Amino acid sequence: MAYRETDQVRARKAAQREHLLVSAEQLVREGGFANLTMQTLARQARVGVGTLYRYFDNKGRLAAEVFRRATEREVAAVAQAMTHGDTVVARLTHVLQEFVRRAQSAPKLAWALIAEPVDPEVDSERLHYRRQYASLYQALLREGVASGELPEQNIAVVAAAMVGGIAEALVGPLSEPLEQDDVAEALVGFCLRAIGL
Amino acid sequence: MAYRETDQVRARKAAQREHLLVSAEQLVREGGFANLTMQTLARQARVGVGTLYRYFDNKGRLAAEVFRRATEREVAAVAQAMTHGDTVVARLTHVLQEFVRRAQSAPKLAWALIAEPVDPEVDSERLHYRRQYASLYQALLREGVASGELPEQNIAVVAAAMVGGIAEALVGPLSEPLEQDDVAEALVGFCLRAIGL
């Protein structure tokens, strides 16, 4: 009986933690990480501030966890989009259109994930996930070079430059009144030309 | 007499501030912003920690000031390099070679300026200077399109993508044993192709 209760307690804690993280992401979607404090989260999630500290040591850790969950979804979406299409051109075009579409459907979240000035804990996570994006692009480039669809190139440098270029191209336009199609089209053109297509 | 003394005090304070900032940048050159604390700076500059607080409210402000001074030098170097050459190809090639050369001659400083996880104050400055770099590239692109050397393109998106791409391409290679020439060459190729050359 005691054992079952432990399971129940554990399940309840996991559910509570999930509820807190979903509430926290909602705050970031509305106003970036600047909108996420222990106070705003307590209000949003309808719990006491003390309760929050049982789940997250401090705001930096909380922000990093929200960042990780949201970014893992984005990386998975990119990885998934990369499987659509028969050629590197088709697949890269699809990935970029998807990336821009997702960013523009939740512009404050995209800004928060890519560029908002935040705690160093989040900065560290950013570097980690940029390397993951770079690995995905490296794999695509390697395939293209192997099949002869792409010319030989320094894949490490080119993949990194693509990751940085895509992110930065979104940061400006997200805060300016550019049309989604314009950004996606310009970015697709930029990247395809950059890799020799 | 009292007036002259005020001038003297002001000059001494300015000299002291300059000394502190030079010492602080030295710390960043040696170990990034992680190496810059009020304690390490007091030791490096041979002053008391209390003295530091008369010049800088806190470490974030200090780091932001060090960042600004170093980055302004880099932006000026890029602006200067951009005037060398008769064509956009020549000028952009020169800028990129110079940018990579400068980064690789002070790799820890470059890493600190571009990507090290740091205080949000420094993150904010990063965004500000990335817009300055973007303006420089926009001007170059606009000129190239006007003269017919470059094809029509979405200059805002392309300039932003170049700024992000150049920065990110340096971040990886700085921590890996890539040859300077390889990175510069790959980056020049990437950017020239990306803008339609």
The whole-angstrom separation of Cα A18 and Cα A39 is 18
The whole-angstrom separation of Cα B61 and Cα B71 is 15
Mean pLDDT confidence for B107-120: 91
DSSP class of residue B34 equals: G
Residues in chain A closer than 8 A to B121 (CB atoms):
117
Burial of B48 (0-12, 13-18, 19+ CB in 10 A): exposed
Vertex B37 angle, CA B31 and B38, to 5°: 145
Nearest CA in chain B to A196: B193
Joined tokens for residue B59: 């470490």
What digits encode the pLDDT tens for the residues B147-177? 999 999 999 999 999 999 999 998 765 555 4
The whole-angstrom separation of Cα A60 and Cα A63 is 5
DSSP class of residue A149 equals: S
Task: Tell me whether residues A186 and B153 touch, CB distance under 8 A.
Answer: yes
Which residue in this structure is represented by tokens 């040591």? A57
Joined tokens for residue A90: 């088709």
Which residue in this structure is represented by tokens 């939740």? A106
Nearest by Cα to B137 from A2, A43, A168:
A168
The confidence score (pLDDT) of residue B177 equals 47
Nearest by Cα to A170 from A186, A146, A158, A192:
A186
Handedness of CA B157, B159, B163, B165 (dihedral sign): positive
Beta carbons within 8 Å of A27's beta carbon, 6+ residues apart: A35, A36, A40, A41, A44
Helices vs strands, H then E, count in chain A: 9, 0
CB atoms within 10 A of CB A11: 10
The whole-angstrom separation of Cα B67 and Cα B60 is 10
The whole domain housing A9 covers 2-194
Distance of residue A112 Cα from the nearest chain B Cα, in angstroms: 12
| Mean pLDDT value across chain B | 90
DSSP class of residue A113 equals: H
The amino acid present at A110, given as its one-letter code, is: A
CB A148 within 8 A of CB B180: no
Task: Tell me whether residues A164 and B167 touch, CB distance under 8 A.
Answer: yes
Q: Is A95 on the interface with B (CB under 8 A)?
A: no
CATH of the domain at A32: 1.10.357.10
Interface of A with B in 27-86 (CB under 8 A): none
pLDDT < 70 positions in chain A? 1-4, 172-180
Total domains, chain B: 1
What digits encode the pLDDT tens for the residues A20-59? 999 999 999 999 999 999 999 999 999 999 999 999 999 9
The confidence score (pLDDT) of residue B196 equals 82
The whole-angstrom separation of Cα B177 and Cα B170 is 12
Distance of residue B191 Cα from the nearest chain A Cα, in angstroms: 6
